[in-house]
């Protein structure tokens, strides 16, 4: 076998369809598009969801629900993560610097998950009822 003798296998390369090249080709005149109608014409494609002028399904159905744009920017922090921090006064900036929350976070809330064994003071950070009770039981305070 030499480089100048390499060829694709027989039948591997199919000739492209040459439409509109006379009746002898079998694809002359209408070029396989049939007669008239939107699909027979140039640029005969329609928009996604278009139903020929009938009110499309996505517009017939009622609007439902609401997606909050700030949901992802309100974060939760566990009690055990707060306990691991070396500082006593905790605010949103301290949580961002400790890499517990994203720098894009708008607000944070402490949830009751794990234990806290030392006094901490939360400032500008929310806490659930259970987390607040646990922090106060350890001698800390939650003040917004």
Could you tell me which residues come within 8 angstroms of residue 4 by beta carbon, excluding any fewer than 6 positions away?
none
- Cα distance between residue 32 and residue 41, in whole Å: 12
Q: Please check whether the domain covering 73-143 is classified as CATH 3.100.10.10.
A: yes
pLDDT digits (tens, 9 = 90+) for 47-59: 888 888 999 999 9
Cα–Cα dist 86/75, whole Å = 21
The reported pTM is 0.55
| Mean pLDDT across 130-139 | 94
CB 114 within 8 A of CB 139: no
């Amino acid at each position: 076998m030499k480089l100048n003798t390499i060829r694709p296998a027989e039948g591997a390369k199919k000739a492209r369809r040459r439409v509109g090249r006379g009746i002898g080709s079998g694809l002359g005149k209408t070029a396989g598009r049939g007669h008239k109608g939107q699909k027979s014409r140039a640029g005969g494609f329609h928009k996604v969801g278009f139903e020929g002028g009938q009110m499309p399904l996505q517009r017939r159905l009622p609007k439902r629900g609401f997606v909050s744009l700030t949901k992802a920017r309100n974060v939760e922090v566990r009690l055990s993560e707060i306990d691991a921090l070396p500082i006593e006064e905790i605010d949103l900036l301290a949580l961002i610097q400790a890499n517990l929350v994203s720098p894009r976070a708008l607000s944070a809330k402490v949830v009751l998950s794990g234990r806290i064994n030392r006094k901490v003071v939360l400032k500008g950070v929310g806490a659930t009822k259970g987390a607040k009770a646990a922090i106060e039981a350890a001698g800390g305070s939650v003040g917004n």
